[in-house]
Amino acid sequence: MGEGATIVEPARKGGGVMSDEHADFLDGLHVVENELERVIGELDEMQDRRGIPALDRVSLNTLQWALNKLADDLHDAIAEIRKARLEVVSARRGEEDAREVRDAACQLHLFECRKHSAEVERRLALEKQLAEVTAERDEARQQQQAEQLQWASFYNGLGAELHKVKAERDGLQRQVAELTEKLGELPDEEDEPFPEPYPWQDGDTVSSRDVKILPYDCLYKVKRLSCGRVALIGLTGMLSQADWEKHGFTLHRKASDMPELQPPTPQQVAEFAAVTEPIDDSVGTDGEEES
C-alpha cells in the first residue's frame, strides 16, 4: 500500500460496537481499499518494468487519500451516532425518571389533598361541636339568670314576710311575757303528768327555729297525709312526724284548741251587771209608782 495509506479494520459484528448497516458499509470500504492496494501494486510494478521516472509515473495517492478520508469520516460519524444514541438513551432515562418524579409528585399531591380534606372535615366537626357547646352554655347561662331573678324576687318577698313575722313574733313575745307574769302570781300546783305523744292533725300549727337560717320561730300549718307522712304548708318534702321533730319542729297549737280569750275589762263587767239586774214591776216606765 502506498505512503500515507490508512488501514481500515473490518467491522466487528456481534461486538455491540455498531449496527449491521454500518458494519456492512465498513466491510465494503475495506474491500475497496484492498482492491485499491492491489491496483496500486500492479501499477507500480508495470511502471518499474517500463522504467518510467518517478516524476512521470501515474499516482493514485489522491484516491488513496479520499478513501482514507472517507474511512475517517465514517468513524467520526459512527462515534457521533453512538454519542447521539447514548444521549437518546439518557434522555429516555431522564424522561422515565421525570415521569417517576411526576408520578411521585402526583401521589404526594393526592396525599396532601386527602390530608387537607381530612383536616377540613375535622375542623368542621370541631366547629359544630363548639357551636353546640356554646349554645348549651348560653342556654344554661340564661336559665341561671332566670333562676337568679326568681330567687331575688323570692328573697325580696321573703324579706317582707320575715318583717311581718318579726312584728308578729314581737307581739307574741309581749303576750308571753304578760302571761308569764300572770302565771307567776298563781299559787304553785303539783306537777302535771307528761302528756302522751300527740299525732299531728290537719290544721295544727308547728314551729321551728333554726339559728342557721332564721333567728326566730317560724310557724307552719300541718297537712296530714296517708301512711304516716306529714307535709308542712310552705315547705317541700313529706316526712314522718318523728323526722320533722328530729329537725327541730314542735307542736305550737292544735287545730281543736279554742283561741285564747282576753279577761273582761271592768267596764265590760259593769255593763254586763247593769243588763242582768231584775226589773221592778211596781215602777212604771215613766218612773212613777202604779196604784
Summarised one tens digit per residue, pLDDT across range 98-149 is 988 989 999 999 998 998 999 899 999 999 999 999 998 998 989 888 888 8
Q: What is the pLDDT of residue 11?
A: 47
Query: Of the candidates 254, 247, 238, which has an alpha carbon nearest to the alpha carbon of residue 208?
Result: 247
Q: Among candidates 238, 171, 225, 167, which has minimal Cα distance to 199?
A: 225
- Using the 3D structure, point to which of 114, 145, 180 is the last residue of a domain: 180
pLDDT of residue 135: 92
- Check whether residue 21 and residue 138 sit in a common domain: yes
**pLDDT exceeds 60 at position 286:** no
Poorest-confidence range of 73-82, 240-249, 282-291?
A: 282-291
* Residue 58 and residue 47 in contact, taking contact as beta carbons nearer than 8 Å: yes
Instruction: Assess whether 139 and 69 both reside in one domain.
Output: yes
Does 81 lie in the same domain as 161? Answer: yes
Shared domain check, 115 and 43: yes
For 250, the domain range is 205-257
126 in the same domain as 246? no
Model pLDDT, residue 188: 57
Mean pLDDT for all residues in the chain: 77
Same domain, 171 and 209: no
Q: What region does 236 belong to: left with phi over 0, alpha with psi -120 to 50, or beta?
A: beta
Number of independent structural domains in the chain: 2
Kind plus residue range of the DSSP H or E element containing 170: helix 61-185
The answer as to whether 242 is a domain residue is yes
**Same domain (yes/no): 112, 252:** no
Between CA 208 and CA 222 the distance in angstroms is 13
Helix (H) or strand (E) holding 219: strand 218-224
User: pLDDT band at residue 280, thresholds of 50, 70 and 90?
Assistant: low
Q: Note whether residue 72 is domain-resident.
A: yes
> How many CB atoms lie under 10 A from the CB of residue 98?
11
What pLDDT does residue 173 have? 79
Range with the lowest mean pLDDT among 5-9, 87-91, 248-252?
A: 5-9
Do residues 159 and 239 both lie within one domain? no
pTM across the whole model: 0.28
Please state, in angstroms and as integers, the Cα–Cα distance from residue 76 to each residue in 7, 32, 72, 174, 268, following that order. Answer: 16, 19, 6, 140, 159
Does residue 17 carry a pLDDT above 50? no
CA distances from 25 to 31, 65, 76, 83, 146 (A): 10, 18, 14, 19, 108
Contact, 23 vs 11, CB < 8 A? yes
Residue 289 placed within a domain: no
- CA angle at 140 for the pair 139 and 142, rounded to the nearest 5°: 65
Q: How many other C-beta atoms can be found within 10 angstroms of the C-beta atom of residue 245?
A: 16
CB-based contact 218:268 (threshold 8 Å): no
The CA-atom distances, in angstroms, between 30 and each of 17, 24, 33, 39 are 17, 10, 5, 14
Q: Which of 34-48, 95-109, 256-270 has the highest mean pLDDT?
A: 95-109
